[in-house]
Chain A
């Protein structure tokens, strides 16, 4: 079968419209069932017993008293689940229940299933665990020192270092030697967490020899793999369903203890089992933004053109590997997708500490270096007497080019997002009064990771479109986590089939019913699943058109598919006719990122993407010079989205990204004191309320990416990125002090103002970057000029 050439995309009827999301009515009536809303007959309830020690050896676990609690049905310890796992094949360092060592306060050691949650909790309290405390590692600095006891993991080292990376592209030393000006800065980005409104929940059920898990997960595919490994079951016996999702932001991307435990208990007891975490447990489950200490040196020529950059990062990874190797490389990968850096050196390190494990959060590994890089460039611009916007413009990457670290750039709206946001905000003619400031920054993000998390050659996304009895059903493994991916898939299918999104029935995020999609992470769904859905729906359209053309005695290209009609027939008539002629009407589409979008060096797997989105932000704020309190007045955010599939949903993603960026810039922090989380509640972990959230002016810029579905690119993560440095820049504009540590809280501002008043540096931030035993540089030959200009 041949697929007709892409239609004239100016004639799009559904794509690009502003439409309500397909599941909205179910959400406003409360009828949609999130994971914790699932109730099955005979269901047991499970609670996890968690470590009270940051770091300790588990000497013994006595569960006899727990088993004696009336109503307790099953008690599990690590001996019941001895197989290790982890999201990345290089660091499968987790156990569903730890039976040898606990590595943070909150590490699960046992599980109790009972007739109700209260009894399960009572069972947990009846378990006695004998620990031998070990000296906890609480900071990056401490993790670099060989421990008195033993490192957190056998594979750590030197000391408690988890992962080191050292890459050089081009001759950095020569670049610095030629530079007219070189500047160094140190920054710190405190960790923070996703704080989804929904607490994680998982329910398992066994029927015969098959196990089904419903979970608030973003990645049912990866959970499926981990379950098969830990439970020792063939993949085919397991089904993982992503339940309607109450917020992810990256926090539900790892396979988790509670997911594994409920499956195991269901297998042991034959009864359905649910485990729902408390809010405090969600803080311990974490996998959020890494605290990152950063050092950056940049050399520019007399015109402000970057000649060389050297970027160092040190990530406080917490207790387990999680996505750590990727997180580490992401702190160095995307500096080059906004600025043409001819020579670039990156040295990164991730260490283990006795805190809740960090992982991916919206922007995975890139908001921290983006904050550092943009603020560093502001300072560099001041050094050389250039306007900070102009310095950036002189270094912007060009569309359809190749970066020094071999990333392929295609569509690139960097100039346009910059122009649009500056124009809309009046940045250049901003009001000058005490305490008022504006800041500007740009950023870029991936439209899906170019490589899967574990090596395999399957497509990254697959879709099936079935038509039967007049209706259309689209099957895809993609998971709507609130970002609107179901609506995107329905819109794409509707566009191709001449229907409305509400006409498409969706089956998504179900490893038993849908073909594979890797999951909702790295902003990949619109681009990858969108392309797969478009291919599947276009094939289905061709099937229907072929049958209708035969029936109506015309050429297929004369058959119009629009407004619920195929040619002169209604969609339902055409579908019935096609089924009569062809039998089962099923079409599929797949998406695999193209070859050659990244390099071939070790570490090249992180950063490549089939396309990059671009964002620019200006932030207008007032900062009180007496109290350091900040009032953000307005944020302008221009985003190169390629093309918006659903404008309302796209704007919502921008507004949500700005919100989360402001939260991270101003108040969100997952910090520790003596090995204990300081803010494990929604009162103490500060997130913006209605009253702190300013107006956001969203500007969508469409660059029509050649490979995105209808030209679309991502919008879920990118818009967060420029907000954080733009806030820092605006605070400097307002008060003349640099806050080189995120979040920018009023007490830090006052300390910087006090320092300036005492004649010290007008700055608050880290003063030194530790000595890290980075390995020898892997020297990568950059693309030659011919390759670089695509």
Chain B
């Protein structure tokens, strides 16, 4: 049986105290809420914290409530099951609840948290292996080594951002509240939580803890998330796109497109969606006859540079990024996925 290495488990009385503990123990410590990402990685020696600062018992992190302006605040300790089945969030932010519902499997979502999924480790099939496998291969820079195995010339790690909920939260204009030592709080856009480096993929300070996710009132924004993977459960995304459209009737007034699993951070490629602004999304556009969506998707996917460090052929994964964008736009516009299949 694969087992965990020993560690000290600390139970802070509050998030503030947890951040203080992180600061106190430095890089020997990590936080754990659901543990669905951390525990397997500790069993395989990918992460070796000596101290775990538990968050799971903190009820303050487990609330979902409306914010004054009509938005919603979801505590970082809310499980993916709870978040995905919250009716209010689902009505306002379908991309987000859909993304949460597509993470892994039901039993895992019953424990895994929304904060955990925003911070989920980047993935790479040179890295997500046992310590014995990695030793046989030669360690990589993300853990214990000094080169990137999939791109040996790369100066930084090319592990893949694999969160489903992060692209959705970014497309929805979400922010997170980070708690640092001394109770210091700051609110940053979800997008600013990440940087394009597979090893140091989180842009926050190591002793900052995600306290909650805030999604602004939806206004005219409609959204969708499309995930590409081999199986309908368990698997991480091979490609994925979250799209939010601000619609005035059939006319697009704003478009945000965010990609996952195409690089080491979620990519906001909303610039590619500007071609849609002012356009009606009704017939020819949606069926792809005029090539509009295909052009948008091609532009959006330019940033995608998949490598041979995940499932299936990397060229296919790039192709699927374009399809996911088209499908997510069609779905966000309120049309059936069947139309997207024709595109």
Contact = CB atoms under 8 A, between A and B. Distances in A.
Q: Do chains A and B touch in the complex (CB under 8 A)?
A: yes
Interface of A: 50, 52-53, 105, 117-118, 121, 276, 278-280, 624, 626-628, 667, 674, 676-678, 680-681, 683-684, 686, 688-692, 745-747, 750-751
Interface string B86-100: 000000000000000
B132 A747 contact: no
Contacts of B228: 627
A682 to B, nearest CB: 8
Given A52-B135, A676-B137, A745-B312, 18 more contacts: A53-B136, A117-B1, A118-B3, A280-B130, A626-B323, A626-B341, A628-B316, A674-B137, A676-B133, A676-B136, A677-B133, A678-B125, A683-B128, A686-B311, A691-B231, A691-B233, A747-B313, A747-B316
B234 interface: yes
Contacts of B231: 667, 686, 688-689, 691-692
Nearest to B308: A673
B230 A667 contact: yes
B110 interface: no
B3 A684 contact: no
A624 B340 CA distance: 11
Interface string B292-316: 0000000000000000000111011
Nearest to B232: A691
Contact of A627 (B135, B234, B323): B323
Interface string B60-78: 0000000000000000000
B111 interface: no
A624 B341 contact: yes
Contacts of B136: 52-53, 105, 676
Nearest to B310: A684
B319 interface: yes
B3 A683 contact: no
Nearest to B233: A689
B320 interface: yes
9 contacts: A53-B136, A117-B1, A676-B136, A681-B128, A683-B235, A684-B128, A686-B311, A691-B232, A750-B319
Contacts of B343: 626
Interface of chain A, main secondary structure: loop
B129 interface: yes
Interface in B118-136: 125, 128-130, 132-133, 135-136
A680 B129 contact: yes
Given A52-B136, A624-B341, A689-B232, A684 B311 contact: yes
B153 interface: no
Interface of B: 1-3, 125, 128-130, 132-133, 135-137, 228, 230-236, 311-313, 315-316, 319-320, 323, 341, 343
A746 B229 CA distance: 11
B304 to A, nearest CB: 15
Nearest to B319: A750
A676 B320 CA distance: 27
Nearest to A624: B341
A667 B323 CA distance: 21
B230 A686 contact: yes
Contacts of A278: 1-2
Nearest to A51: B136
A134 B135 CA distance: 17
Contacts of A691: 231-233
Nearest to A434: B342
Q: Which A-B residue pairs are the 3 nearest by beta carbons? A: A691-B232, A747-B316, A52-B136
A52 B341 contact: no
A290 B190 CA distance: 47
B160 to A, nearest CB: 14
A763 to B, nearest CB: 16
Contacts of B319: 627, 750
A456 B343 CA distance: 65
B39 to A, nearest CB: 14
Contact of A692 (B130, B232, B312): B232
Contacts of A686: 230-231, 235, 311
B1 A280 contact: no
B234 A689 contact: yes
Contacts of A627: 228, 319-320, 323
B230 A280 contact: no
Contacts of A628: 316
